[in-house]
Amino acid sequence: MRRAWEVFRTGAGFALLEHARNRLAIVLVVVYIPLWLTMEHWFVTPAPARFLLRATGRTVTVDGNHLTMVSGAVNTVTLIVGFMMFMTTFKALAFDSRLALAGYPRSCLLVGKVIAMTVASALVAGYATLIVCWYWDPVRPVLLALGLFTAAVSYGGIGILLGAFLRSDLAGLFVIIMTSLLDTMLQNPMSNTEADKQGLQFLPGYGPTQIGVAAGFTSTDASLGHLLLGPAWFLLMWALGTAAFFVRTRNHLRVPTPPPTASPV
Amino acid sequence: MTLGPCALRVLDLHKAYRSRRVLRGVSFAVEPGTLVGIVGENGSGKSTLLRVLSGQLAADSGEVERRGTLGYCPQATVLNDALTVDQHLRWFRTAYRLDGTRRADELLDELRFAEYRHTRVEVLSGGTRQKLNLTLALMHDPDVLLLDEPYQGFDWETYLRFWDVAARLRDRGRCVLVVSHLAWDAGRLDVVHRLKDGVAAPWSAQERTGVPQGASR
């Protein structure tokens, strides 16, 4: 039990430290989120926009500027956490394989990374919510933060999957940026007048955007199902990335025979 | 196949990358307390052989039997730039299930890089990164060591110290297998196998002395 705790604590601690030392990600969090949301606040029209809340089947008419800020917050947190998890998975693949070869339990290694990602996602979502609250007052800010958190973890999972399979960091960053931009653009009726069309539910930004809008503009709408969509996306992506990691790091040799005599240390 | 007194036994190992057959029946055995060199030209399959021996790569056919714990030092440094030397040692101490880092501390002193213990890897020189790369393979005092050109980037003094460390490991009964530059290192090795045309053949002392420096890789 003590060994398991030590293994888990070591992996999670160093995974968190790695995020904390990712200067580019920290700069993006500190500068990019407020810059993006401030520009949307300045330049996007407050004209009313109609948004279909599928949890209740109700269409709400909301301030287009505020709606775009919710969408922008989803966009920024997904980009940053997706980027963080892609880079950490991509760069650490050989190192993690070496740790696994040395005997570090692979499950502990991966769970440690998930813990670190969860902490980073919570901080980034909380920070983005604070910026939104600086400009206007969402009806339920805690639920908005929760919605942004689910957006962050879903793209964290996508980042892990891309990091496990792609062989170029540029390709990974391109895919994350384009997916996140397209996803949030399609969910927002300000940029897509057909945002209430069937089929958009199958994109990762759907659940978090529904929660974000419900949190920003209503006091009752929102369903647990929508709140779980982001984590479900994460689990699916993470499971695929984890399977790839287990396949790649499996030992192809039989269990070695013990040495003939005790090893002097 | 029975293992006998050997620490490592390889029998008829085959490995191909698509149509390119890299290993075509490699066989050899290494006893404990032996310093073995694997030499061969670029692309002759030395790194592939070590990856198969360490279990990272599946052979198409053949057998590998190993007695005891393994230490593997990859050719390219495999480290985490965000962490310090000390943090690497702590993480691998947990992986190897060690109570402490006594052996790693000795290696830090022997290879003369203890002063960088609290320095982040991203700012270390290539040679110091390689010292840490090697230390991570040796810090649990394994029975069988697979070292893929472990001295790349070392200065001359450190290169000599590496061979002192390797010789001491051999004297303590460890099996040390080094992918090596023949011309420089042949005299330091107990046995040399030359990998050519996918097959490992013992290379005699007479053959070793007749080869010009640096011509073997």
Residue B55 pLDDT > 60, yes or no?
A: yes
pLDDT of res. A223: 79
Task: Name which of B32, B66, B95 is nearest A256 (Cβ-Cβ).
Answer: B66
pLDDT of res. A222: 72
pLDDT of res. A146: 97
Shortest distance, CA B138 to any CA of chain A (angstroms):
11
Per-residue pLDDT, averaged over A7-33, amounts to 93
Q: What is the ipTM for the molecules in this complex?
A: 0.89
Task: Name which of A94, A97, A102 is nearest B92 (Cβ-Cβ).
Answer: A102
Residue A119 pLDDT > 90, yes or no?
A: yes
Query: Cα separation of A127 and A134, whole Å?
Result: 11
Query: Cα separation of B9 and B26, whole Å?
Result: 10
Choose the weakest-confidence range: A70-84, A117-131, A135-149, A188-202.
A188-202
Residue A260 pLDDT > 90, yes or no?
A: no
Chain B interface mutation, best of A26, A101, A245, highest count of B Cβ atoms under 10 Å: A101
Q: Do A253 and B64 touch (CB under 8 A)?
A: yes
Residue A264 pLDDT > 70, yes or no?
A: no
Task: Name which of A18, A94, A259 is nearest B67 (Cβ-Cβ).
Answer: A259
Query: Cα separation of A86 and B141, whole Å?
Result: 35
**pLDDT confidence tier of residue A10, bands split at 50, 70 and 90:** very high
**What domains sit in chain B, N to C, each tagged with a CATH number?**
32-51+72-209 (3.40.50.300)
pLDDT of res. B188: 87
pLDDT of res. B209: 57
Q: Do A254 and B69 touch (CB under 8 A)?
A: no
Shortest distance, CA A77 to any CA of chain B (angstroms):
23
In whole numbers, what is the pLDDT of chain A averaged over residues?
A: 91
CB < 8 Å to A109, chain B:
none
Task: Name which of B56, B59, B68 is nearest A259 (Cβ-Cβ).
Answer: B68
Structure tokens at B139: 């810090």
Task: Name which of A253, A258, A264 is nearest B55 (Cβ-Cβ).
Answer: A253
Give per-residue pLDDT as tens, B83-109. Answer: 999 999 999 999 999 999 999 999 999
**pLDDT confidence tier of residue B4, bands split at 50, 70 and 90:** low
Residue extents of the structural domains in chain A = 2-248
In chain B, residues 25-84 whose CB comes closer than 8 Å to chain A? 32, 52, 54-59, 64-70, 72, 74, 78-83
Chain A interface mutation, best of B56, B86, B118, B133, highest count of A Cβ atoms under 10 Å: B56
Residue type, A31: V
Q: Do B5 and A260 touch (CB under 8 A)?
A: yes
**pLDDT confidence tier of residue B205, bands split at 50, 70 and 90:** low
Structure tokens at A26: 């920290």
* Residue in B162, B173, B176 with CA at minimum distance from that of residue B127: B162
CB < 8 Å to A4, chain B:
none
Give per-residue pLDDT as tens, B155-193. Answer: 999 999 999 999 999 999 999 999 976 666 778 899 999
A20: which residues sit within 8 A by CB, 6+ positions away?
Answer: A26
Phi, psi (degrees; rounded to nearest 5) at A104: -70, 125
Identify the sign of the CA torsion A101, A102, A105, A106: negative
Give per-residue pLDDT as tens, A59-111. Answer: 999 999 999 999 999 999 999 999 999 999 999 999 999 999 999 999 999 99
Give per-residue pLDDT as tens, B130-160. Answer: 999 999 999 999 999 999 999 888 999 999 9
pLDDT of res. A258: 67
Query: Cα separation of A78 and A23, whole Å?
Result: 18
Q: How do B61-66 and B34-40 pair as beta strands?
A: unpaired
**pLDDT confidence tier of residue A191, bands split at 50, 70 and 90:** confident
Shortest distance, CA A37 to any CA of chain B (angstroms):
30
**pLDDT confidence tier of residue A221, bands split at 50, 70 and 90:** confident
Q: Do B74 and A98 touch (CB under 8 A)?
A: yes
Per-residue pLDDT, averaged over B8-29, amounts to 93
